[in-house]
Structure 1
Amino acid sequence: MKNIKILSILFLASIFFTSCEEEIMEWEERSEEQRITTAEIPLELEEKISRYDALKTYSDYVLGAGIILDLYMNDENYRSIVNENFDEVTVGYAMKHGAMVNADGEINFEPIDDFIALTNQSGLSVYGHTLNWHANQNASYLNSLIAPTIIPGSSGANILDRSALEDGTFTGWPKNNPGDGITIVENAGLGSDSPAIELIAGSGASEPFNLQLATPDIPIVQGNEYEVSFYIKSDQPGQGRISFSGLENNYPYKDWYNTGEGTEAFETTSEWQQVTFTVSDFTDTSFGFFFDLGYVPGVTYYIDVATISVVDPNTGSETVNLISNGDFEGGNLDGWNGYGNESTRAVSAQGEGYGNTGYAMVLTNPAEAELYSAQQVFALNEPLEEGTEYTYSFYVKADVPATVQVQIQGGTAQYSGPIDIGTTWTQIERTFTPTAGNNSFVFDFGLTPATVFIDDVVLTSGEIATGSETVVIEMSDEEKAEIIGDALEHWISGMVTRYKDDVTAWDVVNEPMKEGGSLRDGNVTDLASDDFYWVKYLGKDYAVTAFKLAREYGNPSDILFINDYNLEASLAKLDGLIEFTQYIESQGATVDGIGTQMHVSLTTSRENIVEMFQKMAATGKQIKVSELDVRLGTASPTTDQLTQQADMYQFIIDSYREYVPSSQQYGITLWNISDNEQEHEFWLPDESPNVWDANYERKPAYKGVADGLAGRDVSEDFTGELE
């Protein structure tokens, strides 16, 4: 135990001695009842604070701490403070979707398993934070589940005239046998606004030619091989074939699906599928083909107009690509080199290139820097011709929204400026006029911590060959809802089941409300890279589903919370949260508690704090202060600020005790332990909001918290006796 402070001793001396400049001290014997004992000596604040016991000894409800997992696991001093002072811990990040779910949707439990094993040894309980939130999600994985399917255009120009299908006239497209109807249906194709040919087999159909649509004549070059492809589906299992005019064999058995086997017919289902094959046995300078779909009566077929193509891969534009390894189909990065910002470069796996085919170049930047701090360079064989217009194009995407730039280096550098890219393939095309000495093509990708995929890089002074159009297939809202609903169940069921014996209280839904009290809807234009709004795909009932899943896979006795921030600042937001809680319960789920984060400052309205607790208590729910800290606006507070901070902590805890009935008091969690910069790299940097200072010494706030928990000034019991 510490001795009393020297100042206290001096104070004692001052009681017994008086002095003046010219008089000698006179000693006087006092009676026993007039004597001052050491127990009566007043204590300095610092001495008082040092004599307080661990915080949890003063609390009759759960006292929690929001902590950083790595510090708890690896810093013995930090861990000992947590173990000594708290009943429960909440990890700030490590139990969230973004921290635990990998790119394949698998949950990595190992770090939390180790953490819970250590807290069990220390006698601490763990609070689950959080099962459903819009931030700190593996948004890249979730978005990939509902990403549109991109069907790349053909490798050359489409020589089949589709204009009569696109305008719905069928001019030049004979309906040799229309069955029960051959028409164009808008918005029925693969793309969201793509038309489709609808072909309906009659009830008496039994032969393929009982439903037949013919193409116009297609001019060809003798000796060349042509690729024919289209996408087709049917309302029920069906069957079709392609027959021809102008071939040596107009009724060939074809390898429709590139399986290596030839058949007369292909099968159709309710899912879009591609039929693709080649022809070369021409008898003339043109040929035609027929969609024969009369095998099965009563089937309705759809053929996507935009994907019907006939291409000669051996002809087309004479584009001379100055980037000799722009498609990476050799599975290497020959000709490319790069450096900077500890970035890495590689070739993707087969099938990860544009259009889910072939290879792509993969550039990974680990940390934010300047655009040009990480570069990937292709050195040209010779400088570009000064004054000649050039064009470059490439397909690009990233694992998170990112920014890249193109430079043409050598001589006076040319810059594209920042190019914003998303998580689906996009083609970028730019033109420029070189200056003397321009002799290398460069990707700058240092700005965004991201993995960038690049494919089909072309640099030419001619035209860029585009072939036929790319088709983007968006999922329906119903399909997205089903997929995201499954992902939510996978996540919640995995977490709650895994930690059923160790975590018995959870933040199930976190921060659902906007400031004015309305429900977040997910319609946000400037998303962070780890933002994913479940509500956008599952609607208002996303929270109902989350609570039902947490209850289904957990224990009946688990305490399930809805939680939000700024409830003391916006009582309208609190009202909205309470109303949303009532809605969730009206749909058959049970919400056990409401959490209020309470990241406050010295100027936060105390009247609002009282009214907030009163409104929350009126719900009858368990009430939790879930993330309490008191900001001072500086990392170097004055003595007066520290005193006011202690007073605000005590006021909040006193108000919680006074206005929330004891039966509804789940507890209070302090958010972070100390003002040490290790705890404030991402949360309130250059601040001093916590109960311990940057050196893990108790601040006046420690006394404020302890007195609030105890409901009295604990230091009144302290004496001046040496300890």
Structure 2
Amino acid sequence: MAALVAGIWSCSKTGKDEPKPTPTPPQPPAPTEKVLDYSKASLKELAAKQGIKLGVAMTYGEYRQNPAIAGLLEREFSSVTFGNEMKHDCIVGADGKCNFSTADAMVSYASKAGVDLFGHTLGWHSQQQNDYLDKLISKARPDNSSSLLQANWNFEEGTLDGYVANGFGLTSSYYEVFAGDYAAKAESEASLGFKVSLAEGKTYELSFWAMSEASDRSVKASSGNQETTASLTSKWTKYSTSFTAAADGEAEFTLEAAAGACIDNIRVVLAGGQSAPVGKFYSSSLLEGELADDAIGFAYKSWVYAMIEHFDAYGWDVVNETFSDAYPSGFRDKSNTDLSGYHKFLWGQYFGSQKDFVDKAFAYAKDALAKYGKEAVLYINDYNLEYSDSKLGAYCDYAKNNPDVTGVGTQMHLDLQLPNLESKIDNMLRMLTGTGKLVRISELDIKAGSSKLKEQAELYKYIFQKYIEIVPEAQRGGITFWGFNDKDSWVGESNHPLLWSGKNYAKKPAYDAIYIYLCELAGIDPYKASE
């Protein structure tokens, strides 16, 4: 019975055998997600294969507080720009003297990382040393009406008329002129004589500005049997001395100098209570003594020469943000520029116009490079060029027509929320390339929400694609990111603008997108080999 029951339960209701279930075929293993291999190459190596010098901005705070950036700087970048530390108010003190110590420490740091220095910036309307500049403005402009030497006292007639010149000629080299366009320069052992009318027994003050690049140079001033000698330096200095008239009538003054001495702004006035001592020279700086006709212009010129002499930079932002955001765009002036706030100063107000200032800035920079035997690309730099067709047009027209401008910089502080970015970037790059100058993306970052990091990465890749596609290799001045890490960005961590984030400097999708794209261009597989 037990066997019967077992047999019944083993049969189907139909009396036929049930079909056996079809076995499930083995499934292929799930695809392994590709993992990037960052050891294949650095960003700077990949960029260099496309003729791109890859740079980054760094501030003193990052340099002092974030040791992680030393490795990133050395591995990923070819150049560095200091965000603030080479600007006017960081170098120039309230007394007009330059203090390079902070910037020098950062230069040493960058040099150990093997990166080149980009100079930022020689001319801007923000972060200027107003404490010094305002003192120059507040001092009375020199009034030459009291001088007994009226004709051609500053050589601006472009001649030596009015002087008995032996061995003196005119110079118009920027560094050899104190103020204006001309100065007298001794071409050999030379003398410069002139006559003025004096009254017997009265004391008169003779003053002039002088300098000499050559060492051991002096100027001897004499009148009658009175003479005084001043030792010159390579910096423009005002020299003053007093003479007492031996008789009524015309007296002859003579300035004698050796080759290389430059003299400007000669004056003879009736001495007052604060006059220089008789028979001795009193020297004074621009801030301490009488102002030049163009004190601000001279202060600016001195700043440019000092910076180019001191720093070895492969390029300079000579003028930064000089075009207005108004429509139609043009050079900045008081009507279109907010000068309130911290250390704002519009140099163009003291150069006739902002265009005159920009012209002079590039001329000074070019001359300073030649003077100190250096080479560098001289950039004009501005923002919102991708957004404003009016500004872009004015900017390109100026750059194209000034031969001293050898590079054009576009900052490219972008915001992912703004429309039509891709077409605007294309148009801007084509316009900049059309100037014939080197084209540099100078301060790149992209604002994006935390949910838009993929779109941000795609835009970063697009910028590199279009830069390589539109800008010929011979015109590629490089691409610089305006910082390392979101947490230290000038636009705030919440805008997630850069390639790394967090205290551990994690690579973001933006880094990966650029890395993959540049690897593909170089024929490098960016991924780890499958195991």
Deviations 1:296-343 (A, max 9, x none): 689xxx99xxxxxxxxxxxxxxxxxxxxxxxxxxxxxxxxxxxxxxxx
Residue of structure 2 aligned with 1:518, choices 330, 341, 354: 330
1:702–1:657 distance in 2 versus 1, CA, 3 Å: same
1:686 to partner: Cα distance = 3.7
Q: 1:692 is matched with which residue? A: 500
Residue 416 of structure 2 is aligned to residue 608 of structure 1: no
Residue 411 of structure 2 is aligned to residue 597 of structure 1: yes
Give the AA of the match of 1:596.
T
Aligned equivalents of 2:205, 2:305: Cα separation in 1: 37
Q: Determine if contact 2:40/2:526 at 8 Å carries over to the other structure.
A: no
1:62–1:269 distance in 2 versus 1, CA, 3 Å: closer
Q: Determine if contact 2:519/2:525 at 8 Å carries over to the other structure.
A: no
Give the AA of the match of 1:521.
D
Q: 1:573 is matched with which residue? A: 391
1:270 to partner: Cα distance = 11
Q: Between Structure 1 and Structure 2, whose CA radius of gyration is higher?
A: 1
Residue of structure 1 aligned with 2:47, choices 59, 79, 88: 59
For residue 33 of structure 2, give the secondary structure of its aligned residue in structure 1: coil
1:708–1:496 distance in 2 versus 1, CA, 3 Å: farther
Aligned equivalents of 1:24, 1:267: Cα separation in 2: 123
Aligned equivalents of 1:578, 1:550: Cα separation in 2: 20
1:102–1:556 distance in 2 versus 1, CA, 3 Å: closer
1:718–1:105 distance in 2 versus 1, CA, 3 Å: same
For residue 64 of structure 1, give the secondary structure of its aligned residue in structure 2: strand
Q: What TM-score do the two structures reach when normalised by structure 2?
A: 0.63
Q: 2:343 is matched with which residue? A: 530
For residue 99 of structure 1, give the secondary structure of its aligned residue in structure 2: helix
Aligned equivalents of 1:488, 1:112: Cα separation in 2: 19
Aligned equivalents of 1:713, 1:97: Cα separation in 2: 41
Q: Determine if contact 1:504/1:558 at 8 Å carries over to the other structure.
A: yes
Q: 1:98 is matched with which residue? A: 89
Q: CA RMSD in A?
A: 3.6
Residue of structure 2 aligned with 1:627, choices 426, 439, 443: 443
Residue 375 of structure 2 is aligned to residue 562 of structure 1: no
Aligned equivalents of 2:32, 2:529: Cα separation in 1: 5
Q: 1:642 is matched with which residue? A: 453
Residue 331 of structure 2 is aligned to residue 509 of structure 1: no
Q: Determine if contact 2:486/2:493 at 8 Å carries over to the other structure.
A: no
Aligned equivalents of 1:67, 1:25: Cα separation in 2: 66
Q: What TM-score do the two structures reach when normalised by structure 1?
A: 0.47
1:529–1:692 distance in 2 versus 1, CA, 3 Å: same
Deviations 1:477-536 (A, max 9, x none): xx776212211121111111112xx31211111111012320112455642231111111
Q: Determine if contact 1:238/1:269 at 8 Å carries over to the other structure.
A: no
Aligned equivalents of 1:698, 1:236: Cα separation in 2: 75
Deviations 1:523-569 (A, max 9, x none): 55642231111111113222222222222222453111111110000
For residue 562 of structure 1, give the secondary structure of its aligned residue in structure 2: strand
1:536–1:655 distance in 2 versus 1, CA, 3 Å: same
Where does 1:75-474 land on structure 2 (aligned, <5 Å)?
75-149=66-140
Aligned equivalents of 1:557, 1:496: Cα separation in 2: 10
Q: Determine if contact 2:296/2:350 at 8 Å carries over to the other structure.
A: yes
Q: Determine if contact 1:73/1:79 at 8 Å carries over to the other structure.
A: no
Give the AA of the match of 2:357.
Y
Residue 299 of structure 2 is aligned to residue 487 of structure 1: yes
Aligned equivalents of 2:519, 2:350: Cα separation in 1: 46
1:574 to partner: Cα distance = 1.3
For residue 56 of structure 1, give the secondary structure of its aligned residue in structure 2: helix
Q: 1:178 is matched with which residue? A: none
1:717–1:685 distance in 2 versus 1, CA, 3 Å: closer
Q: Determine if contact 1:651/1:708 at 8 Å carries over to the other structure.
A: no
1:77 to partner: Cα distance = 0.8
1:29–1:609 distance in 2 versus 1, CA, 3 Å: closer
Figure out how many residues of one structure are paired with residues of the other and give that number. Answer: 374
Q: 1:550 is matched with which residue? A: 365
For residue 59 of structure 1, give the secondary structure of its aligned residue in structure 2: helix
Q: 2:149 is matched with which residue? A: none
Give the AA of the match of 1:688.
H
1:714–1:546 distance in 2 versus 1, CA, 3 Å: same
Percent identity between matched residues is: 28
